[in-house]
Amino acid sequence: MTSIRGRLLVNLSLVFLVLYALSGVLLYAYLNHVLWKGFDAALLEKAETFARTTEAHDNDVLEFEFLESDLPEYWPQRRAEYFQVWRTDGTVVARSPSLGSNNLPVPSLDAAYPAFSRLTLPDGRKGGAVTLDFHPRPGTEILTAKKAETERLYVVLAISSDIVDKTLAKIRTGLLITCLAFIAGSLPSVWWSIWDGLRALDLVGQQVQGVNADNLTFRFGAEGLPVELAPVCERLNDLLGRLDDAFKRERRFTANAAHELRTPIAELRTLAEVGLGEAQDSAPSMKEYFVDALGVAKQLEHLIETLLLMARCDAGMQVVDWQWTDIAAQLRESWEQLCAHPDGHAVAAAAIIPAHAMIQTDPTLFRALVANLLDNALAYTPGGGAIHLTLVLDSTKFRLTIANTSSELKAADVCHIFEPFWRKTNPQKQEETHCGMGLSLVATYAKLLGLVLHAGLVSPSTLEINVSGTLERETSGPSPA
């Protein structure tokens, strides 16, 4: 089961994480760009100064101020800088002493300059280089000035980018620490915000948990609820109101039906009983009339009791008394009663019941379920037929099977057998209590007890009804003693 709070916490945390990371990356990219731009600008300025201080003289003599001035950064040392100058024909005309025997990358004649690149300096440090093409400044002689215009040089100037790399590393570290600090600070804030925001939902959830068929008069209070939940609670209150009305109507109906149906039967029965008492000395036929009337009253009484019981069960008004019950013992008792009263017609009976079978059920309802199944089997098994009862169970489930000979039943009939009043044939013995409701009651009891009921023809003349379920009730209940 998913939790809104859990999902919000994960989602919001992920969103914050991504936002922080993205912001960090963007900020870093910007700073990286700015720093390198500054670095390149400084490099270019240095290269342009180099170009401005280079002079061309007669006899192909070039004078490099950077070399003449004996600048210390271009001599071999720990923090050296480098330059190398080429003519267009690829001959090197000058190089900083710091290069030693190394060379800087040869510039391409076709490229547009100035051009910047990153490289590893001859001393192994990381650095940046700028390539610039330029005409040297003419020397003091007139002839030289003309020559200088035609002379084209390429200088590659490279310096260490340590300062930029170190600054960027510091920025990365700073951003990472800031990101982690934000995340660490955000998680409790997000959690608290979610907890606080969903508190009203929790409250409503707790109230909903307390609602059941016994307290439908409960209504959700609108006070203190956020506007988002107010309509939900209003609708729930409406729904509870309608449910409450429906339950009350159902109860009223059952009570009224009980009264309206039971009282006339009570009248008929009492009339028959009183009449029978007074007819002891009357003609035999008079006594028979009252006996028949009493029989009709009892049949109607049984029918009404069954219908009302089913109505109560369907309306959820039947109380189920869950207990650990040895159904093997119950089945043996019921089976012995069936064998002791073979109902006037000979049937073969066989049962396989284990010594004990403890399940969590309502013993009275389960006994009634079995009694109705056996009663039905006996009533509709023709003479010479057979009834078989089998109970099997494993560590978690049980299965009760009652099979009986049924010569009239067809496969298409099976889906109807649990319908009230449905009958394919009359029972073998007409009794006051047989009104076609036995298997309907079985279905009602099974539903109430959470059991699975299945019927089928295992052969053209054998009806098999299975009742299966778990040993322990699926919701929490008492443990076996």
Partner 1 sequence: MRILIIEDSKRLQTYVAKGLRGAGYAVDATGDGEEGLYLAENGEYDVVVLDLSLPKLDGMEILRALQDRNQRAFVLILTARDTVEDRVRGLQGGADDYLVKPFALEELLARIQALLRRKYAVNAPVVQLGDLTINLAQRVVSRQGKPLGLKPREYALLEYLVVRKGELVTRADIEHHIYDERVEPVSNVVDSAICSLRKIIDPPGSPSLIQTRRGMGYVAEEPRA
The 72-91 site mask, x for binding partner 1 (CB under 8 A), equals: --------------------
Q: Does 277 bind partner 1 (CB under 8 A)?
A: yes
Q: Which of residues 23-42 bind partner 1 (CB under 8 A)?
A: none
* Binding span for partner 1 by CB under 8 A among 120-128, 217-225, 274-282, 455-463: 274-282
* 282 forms part of the interface with partner 1 (CB under 8 A): no
Cβ-in-10-Å burial (0-12, 13-18, 19+) of 252 comes to exposed
Alpha carbon distance 218, 62 (integer Å): 103
The region of 180-188, 228-236, 258-266, 404-412 touching partner 1 under the rule CB under 8 A is: 258-266
What is the rounded end-to-end Cα distance, in angstroms, of the chain? 33
Quickly tell me which residue has 């990153």 as its tokens. Answer: 118
Contacting residues for 33 by C-beta, under 8 A, at least 6 apart: none
Q: Does 319 bind partner 1 (CB under 8 A)?
A: yes
- Secondary structure of residue 28 in the 3-state scheme: helix
Q: 73, 165, 234, 273: which one contacts partner 1 (CB under 8 A)?
A: 273
- 263 near partner 1 (CB under 8 A): yes
Residue 302 or 473 having the CB closest to partner 1: 302
| Residue 41 token pair | 């600008």
Task: Tell me the closest approach of the beta carbon of residue 238 to partner 1, in angstroms.
Answer: 26
Residue 158's nearest CA partner among 274, 226, 79 is 79
Q: Which of 208, 317, 350, 415 binds partner 1 (CB under 8 A)?
A: 317
Per rule CB under 8 A, is residue 308 in the interface with partner 1?
Answer: yes
Choose, by CB under 8 A, the member of 95, 269, 367, 434 that binds partner 1.
269
* Residue 437 binding partner 1, by CB under 8 A: no
Residue 259 as a binder of partner 1 (CB under 8 A): the answer is yes
User: Among residues 22, 25, 255, 352, which is the contact residue for partner 1, using CB under 8 A?
Assistant: 255
Residue 414: DSSP 8-state: G
**Cα angle vertex 313, ends 309, 316, to 5°?**
140
Residue 208 sits in the site that holds partner 1 (CB under 8 A) = no
CB 387 within 8 A of CB 375: no
**Considering the complex, what minimum distance in angstroms separates the CB of residue 272 from partner 1?**
9
Give phi and psi for 472, each to the nearest 5: -105, 140
Instruction: CB nearer to partner 1: give 232 or 266.
Output: 266
The nearer residue to partner 1, 173 or 270, going by C-beta atoms, is 270
How long, in residues, is the chain? 481
Q: If binding is defined by CB under 8 A, does position 346 make contact with partner 1?
A: no
Give the count of beta carbons closer than 10 Å to the beta carbon of residue 5: 15
* Beta carbons of 80 and 157 less than 8 angstroms apart: no
CB atoms within 10 A of CB 319: 8
Contact positions vs partner 1 (CB under 8 A): 254-255, 258-271, 273-274, 277-278, 297, 301, 308, 312, 317, 319
